[in-house]
């Protein structure tokens, strides 16, 4: 009986973690380190775009295109599973960065966030992407 209570308590405490881990997918055909990236600025908030430009020098002629999707103020209005909605914390936003060659996704970074996406989240995501793909420290000048 006590063992069951300890297990339930441990699961409850793990479920209360405010920081979720990102889901990373890297295509096996993507050779690293990569030489360049271009940025698809379509539907990116201006402050996020400016932040990315301070972190990296994008090459408009590169065939690897970085795109970013995010959503803020997500609300679950579903009447199903009211217990799980009340007990567990529902994400307030998400952030997804994808590096594509043509239509093929070569690298993907996705994370659920329990607050709205901000510049710090974008910076953290880009640092992880850069660490995974360039094997170099983050510099303002890109891959020099």
pLDDT tens-digit readout, 54-87: 999 999 999 999 999 998 877 666 566 555 555 5
In a domain, 92, yes or no: yes
Residue 111 in this model has a pLDDT that exceeds 70: yes
Does any domain span residue 141? Answer: no
Give the residue among 37, 70, 51 at the shortest CA–CA distance from 124.
51
pLDDT computed for residue 127 by the predictor: 95
pLDDT at residue 58, rounded to an integer: 94
Domain limits for position 114: 21-134
pLDDT surpasses 80 at 47:
yes
The count of domains in the chain is 1
In a domain, 140, yes or no: no
Q: How far is CA 40 from CA 9, 44, 80, in A?
A: 45, 8, 37
Question: 104 in a domain, yes or no?
Answer: yes
pTM of the model: 0.73
Mean pLDDT estimate for the chain: 80
């Amino acid at each position: 009986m006590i063992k069951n209570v300890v297990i339930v308590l441990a699961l409850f405490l793990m479920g209360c973690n405010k920081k979720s881990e990102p889901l990373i997918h890297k295509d096996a055909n993507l050779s690293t380190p990569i030489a360049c990236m271009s940025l698809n600025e379509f539907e990116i908030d201006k402050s996020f775009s400016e932040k990315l430009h301070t972190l990296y020098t994008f090459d408009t002629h590169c065939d690897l295109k970085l795109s970013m999707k995010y959503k803020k103020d997500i609300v679950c209005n579903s009447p199903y599973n009211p217990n799980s909605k009340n007990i567990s914390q529902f994400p307030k936003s998400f952030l997804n960065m994808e590096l594509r060659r043509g239509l093929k996704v070569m690298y993907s970074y996705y994370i659920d966030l329990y607050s709205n996406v901000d510049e710090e989240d974008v910076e953290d995501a880009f640092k992880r992407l850069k660490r995974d793909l360039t094997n170099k420290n983050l510099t303002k000048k890109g891959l020099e």
